[in-house]
Structure 1
Amino acid sequence: MVVRNCLVAESHFEIGLIAVGRMVDAGHSVALAAPNLDQQSGDFGRLLRIQSDIASPAEVDDVFHAVERRMGVVDILFVRVARAVAGPLLATADTEWDLLLDAGLGVPFRCIRRAVPGMAGRGWGRIVIMSSECGTFARNATAGLVRSVASELSGTGVTVNAVFSADAGDPACVVDVAELLVHSPGISGEFLTVDSAGIRATA
């Protein structure tokens, strides 16, 4: 089995714990970057824990530097974007709009941009951006970003996909996402919906 270096990065840690456990069980080297790590539970052996919030642009590079120093180049990146739901058009303030754009585009863009050089240099990489409870606009923005990047990276061995979890609190959903991260067949640019019934492509 090829051991991969996995980074799970999110601003809400509850989903990441389950994904981390699945990847550790599979024998991979795993780092978890999330806020409130003092609230984490579970014994994951050699798990690298990084107290950080990827919603902060400055902290994205710090997270990758920490992983590269301890583990090496990131092979598998799982990013869960923050919750952000748009209100009615005329009721949405500029500050709310900016937060929505950053959740759907800014956070995944910065993480993907930082991960791609190392992955492309090795000719293999898996990136999954998970969107949940963030509204139709943020989901569609994330899907558009992923499809654009996937097209650009065609032929490099790096795949980029977006996953929308219809029920972010369902452990079965997260297990399916974790399996996708490790065993992805190389399909790129898809926007997938995951629920207790499994993973399916979304138009």
Structure 2
Amino acid sequence: MTTPRTVLITGGNRGIGFAIAEEFVAQGHRVAVTARSGEGPEGSLTVRADVTDSAAVDAAFSEVESTLGPVEVLIANAGITRDTLLMRMSDDDFDSVIDTNLGGAFRVVKRASKGMLKARFGRIVLISSVVGLYGSAGQVNYAASKSGLVGIARSITRELGARGITANVVAPGFIETDMTAELPEATQSEYKKSIPAGRFATPGEVARVVTWIAGDDAGYISGAVIPVDGGLGMGH
């Protein structure tokens, strides 16, 4: 049985973040999600926060701490895309994706680390993407932000590893979400051909890897990149 923890998931109102929150709730944890709009799953506390704003992040943490207690498990999942080819990508297309996906992870990790250092316990999980290390045409900004999370996790591991804090990266491949469902059938089957497993993952398959790496059994794993991609990014 895993120890009940106070868990905060950024961007927990839809897709993978929502599924991760659901799984933590199902396992009996105290769960909060940040969202700019919408709500987390039933049984979770939703707090409003924009991860590009340090003051908003601080306020969200304070609300979670006063309601559920100090954050012991942080899942940095909030992210955006602004896909376009390099030649067409504006500075703003690049900067906004980096500021949300990479800067956002930095801000929430920094704020969470205060309580984790005091408790001498913490689990930090950064949600990356197969694209972070595999690369993708039209996603220079997104891939850069997602590979940057590996550098964050490994630096935190070296900095805070002796204080009972782990930091790991989970790198999903193609997942069955609203976004992939909107792709034309032909495009979907083309993608599936490149995936050794021959299918997309369910959000739950990602969520259960996240809850495991954040759990009691994974205390000696840190600085790892765990792919949940059906073999798509092998060797990366």
TM-score by length of 2: 0.73
SS class of match (1:30): strand
Give the match for residue 116 of structure 1: 113
Give the match for residue 105 of structure 1: 102
Cα offset, 1:167, TM superposition: 2.2
Change (3 A) 1:202 1:59: farther
Give the match for residue 193 of structure 1: 227
> Is 1:145 matched with 2:132?
no
Change (3 A) 1:18 1:63: same
Take 2:68 and 2:123, find their aligned partners in 1: how far apart are those partners?
A: 16
> Is 1:20 matched with 2:21?
yes
Take 1:140 and 1:150, find their aligned partners in 2: how far apart are those partners?
A: 16
Task: Spell out the pairing of 1:38-77 with structure 2 (5 A cutoff).
Answer: 38=39, 42-44=41-43, 47-77=44-74
> What's the CA shift string for 1:82-112, capped at 9, x where partnerless?
1335644443221122113213420110011
Higher mean alpha-carbon deviation, 143-152 vs 132-141, is at: 132-141
Take 1:85 and 1:182, find their aligned partners in 2: how far apart are those partners?
A: 33
Take 1:149 and 1:201, find their aligned partners in 2: how far apart are those partners?
A: 25
> Is 1:37 matched with 2:38?
yes
Equivalent residues of 1:34, 1:51 under 8 A apart = yes
Equivalent residues of 1:6, 1:74 under 8 A apart = yes
Higher mean alpha-carbon deviation, 156-165 vs 11-20, is at: 11-20
The amino acid that maps onto 1:143 is: V
Give the match for residue 135 of structure 2: none
The amino acid that maps onto 2:213 is: L
> Is 1:154 matched with 2:161?
yes
Take 2:235 and 2:22, find their aligned partners in 1: how far apart are those partners?
A: 27
How many positions carry a matched residue from both structures? Answer: 197
Take 1:179 and 1:196, find their aligned partners in 2: how far apart are those partners?
A: 18
The amino acid that maps onto 2:42 is: D
Higher strand share goes to which structure? 1
Q: Any gaps of 5 or more consecutive residues in structure 1?
A: none
Take 1:78 and 1:143, find their aligned partners in 2: how far apart are those partners?
A: 14
Change (3 A) 1:180 1:145: same
Cα offset, 1:12, TM superposition: 5.7
Equivalent residues of 1:11, 1:35 under 8 A apart = no
Match of 1:176 among 209, 214, 232: 209
Higher mean alpha-carbon deviation, 161-170 vs 126-135, is at: 126-135
SS class of match (2:161): coil
Cα offset, 1:76, TM superposition: 0.3
Take 2:174 and 2:215, find their aligned partners in 1: how far apart are those partners?
A: 21
Equivalent residues of 2:81, 2:97 under 8 A apart = yes
Higher mean alpha-carbon deviation, 4-13 vs 109-118, is at: 4-13
Higher mean alpha-carbon deviation, 62-71 vs 77-86, is at: 77-86
Change (3 A) 1:165 1:178: same
Cα offset, 1:143, TM superposition: 1.0
Q: For the aligned residues, what is the CA RMSD?
A: 2.5
The amino acid that maps onto 2:226 is: L
Q: Any gaps of 5 or more consecutive residues in structure 2?
A: 132-138, 178-201
Cα offset, 1:131, TM superposition: 2.2
